[in-house]
Chain A
Amino acid sequence: MREKILTFIEKNSRIDLKELAIVLGVDEAAVMNELEAMEQENIICGYHTLINWDKAGVEKVSALIEVRVTPQRGMGFDKVAERIYNYPEVNAVYLISGSYDLLVTIEGKTLREVSQFVSDKLSTLESVLSTQTNFILKKYKDHGTVMTEKTIDERIQMIP
């Protein structure tokens, strides 16, 4: 049942409990218990909204920063990752296989703000060897959702 619930709410977190139970064909109380349990267990880590800020007319700049670091003895990459993810400007931090170690995504109001964060905060961390900043120019698809115009239903309205 957990997987069914998660698969559904991953795409539609706003559905109310009663409707979710109906759609999944399970008991409402059971769904509520599972949701609560999964929140407790940190399986469900939050409920967010996917926003196309460009359309909202709000200036935002996002960047993907490739970071090479020196892992620390006994702590591996976790310690330095923690030092990075604690900054509120940081959206996501991933440990990556390949030519660099951490992928950090950052959101700021201006190009300058983001660059400043990288030069002042990120690059100066002791274990950071190098950074490469890639600014996002356009978001086509995010979280499995295409960010362009809503498609209209082109089907003929009545088909036997």
Chain B
Amino acid sequence: MRDPLSKTIVTIQPSGIRKFFDIVSEMQDAISLGVGEPDFDTPWHIRDEGIFSLEKGRTFYTSNSGLKELKIEVTKYLERHYGLHYDYERETFITVGGSEAIDIALRAMLDPGDEVLIPQPSYVSYLPCTILANGTPVVINLKAENEFRLTAEELEAAITPKTKILIMPFPNNPTGAIMERKDLEAVAEIVKKNDLYVISDEIYSALTYTEEPHVSIASLPGMRERTIVINGFSKSHAMTGWRLGYACGPELILTQMLKIHQYAIMCAPTTSQYAAVAALRSGDEDVENMRQEYNGRRRYLLHRFREMGLECFEPFGAFYMFPCIKEFGMTSEEFATELLNAEKVAVVPGTAFGDCGEGFLRISYAYSLNSLKEAMDRIERFITKKREAASHGKA
């Protein structure tokens, strides 16, 4: 029989820590801090709108680019929060989560051999999606000493004549890092100088904890025409299962992205789109309440880490902490496995998000304060024992 598989797909590795994920899923009574989605239910008025649309029998396809009302609300939302201005007809369309938007943006822009700069640690899909789009991924290893922000120097050092796209994964999963205005300005200069395009994955934009709210790189001078802004409802409105996101950018690129979307997807789920209209029309307060709640948990975890002497920079975005465990002389996966077995706390090894995540753990605070307290007590007990064992070993 002939090999049924594409040569490209077999080169793509399944997630390297799948083994660890399997162990976790088999352990019933573990406290997991490994979830990358909000613990809140979708606010009721949003769910209600989805239900209402079903009752009304709104179960047909929408136009390929999405409901007109939703596209209008999306552009208003981006204007109101981030000062971005997009035409809802030609520069905006609705996707199946941010993930689809990442995929089709890469497919619409890449030719074989084009290089895509991917700062890591970052979400797991950029690299395989680049390969599937015939591009060449080039990883930029972000550094803890820079609080995992991308610096102009790091960017410049990674650029070659083949570089076409820079992925901007901020606010960042897994580190919680953000890029503030001054950081983005420095990066934007290099992007413009080298004539690059940016795919800015801003799915966590509603969850930042600094005075100045999230800044979109597309709002900086000269960046709008070279940036695809990707966002969605999963993290901001606790709507992961609804699978709804959107892409905004220059018409020239969006038109081609829409072509792929049209043939591969048809349109985003109709029920979800109706619900999302309600989310944007009257959901700002829900988002703010959830943000406040996350912020309290973030402060609590940071305090506990400081107290137990676990090195961790203060993250200002998303709902993750990224503490360093290098002092224990174990790999992230070893540490996570041992922690799971000894104290039944599940965390994600930093290496799930790139090689430079070695020595770090991703800890999600999309959990109630009470669960976090219990988990922190267990982690503290675990590392105290580790440290004691180490000091006995030396003596």
- Give me the interface of A with B, judged by CB distance under 8 Å: 8, 12, 15, 19, 22-25, 153, 155-160
Contact = CB atoms under 8 A, between A and B. Distances in A.
Contacts of B303: 22
Nearest to B15: A160
Contacts of B39: 153, 155
Nearest to B296: A23
A156 B35 contact: yes
Interface string B31-43: 0101111010000
Interface stretch (B79-87, B90-98, B345-353): B345-353
Contact of B352 (A12, A23, A155, A160): A160
Contacts of B25: 156-158
A22 B35 contact: no
Interface in B350-377: 352-353, 369, 373
Given A22-B299, A23-B299, A157-B35, 12 more contacts: A23-B296, A24-B296, A25-B296, A155-B37, A158-B25, A158-B34, A158-B35, A159-B36, A159-B37, A160-B124, A160-B174, A160-B353
Contacts of B215: none
A159 B34 contact: yes
B278 to A, nearest CB: 21
B369 A158 contact: no
A15 B353 CA distance: 35
Contacts, number: 54
Contacts of B348: 158, 160
Interface string B2-18: 00000000000001000
B296 A158 contact: no
A157 B346 contact: yes
Given A8-B296, A160-B123, A23 B369 contact: yes
B299 A157 contact: no
Contacts of B129: none
A159 B35 contact: yes
B266 interface: no
A152 to B, nearest CB: 12
Given A160-B123, A160-B352, A160-B353, A155 B35 contact: yes
A49 to B, nearest CB: 16
A22 B173 CA distance: 24
Interface string B287-311: 0000000011101100100000000
Nearest to A157: B32
A153 B174 CA distance: 21
* A interface secondary structure, majority: loop
A12 B369 CA distance: 10
A131 to B, nearest CB: 35
A76 B252 CA distance: 72
Given A23-B296, A23-B369, A158 B24 contact: yes
B30 interface: yes
B21 interface: yes
14 contacts: A19-B300, A22-B303, A23-B299, A23-B369, A24-B296, A25-B295, A155-B37, A157-B30, A157-B32, A157-B34, A158-B20, A158-B24, A158-B348, A159-B34
A33 B373 CA distance: 25
B18 to A, nearest CB: 9
Contacts of A157: 24-25, 30, 32, 34-35, 346
Q: List the 5 closest A-B pairs by CB distance, nearest first.
A: A23-B296, A157-B32, A158-B34, A159-B36, A158-B21
Nearest to A8: B296
A22 B307 CA distance: 12
B129 to A, nearest CB: 14
A105 B25 CA distance: 48
A74 to B, nearest CB: 43
Nearest to B302: A22
B346 A158 contact: yes
A160 B37 CA distance: 9
A25 B36 contact: no
Nearest to B295: A25
A159 B24 CA distance: 11
B177 to A, nearest CB: 16
Nearest to A19: B300
Nearest to B370: A12
Contacts of A160: 15, 36, 123-124, 173-174, 348, 352-353
Contacts of A12: 369
A9 B299 CA distance: 17
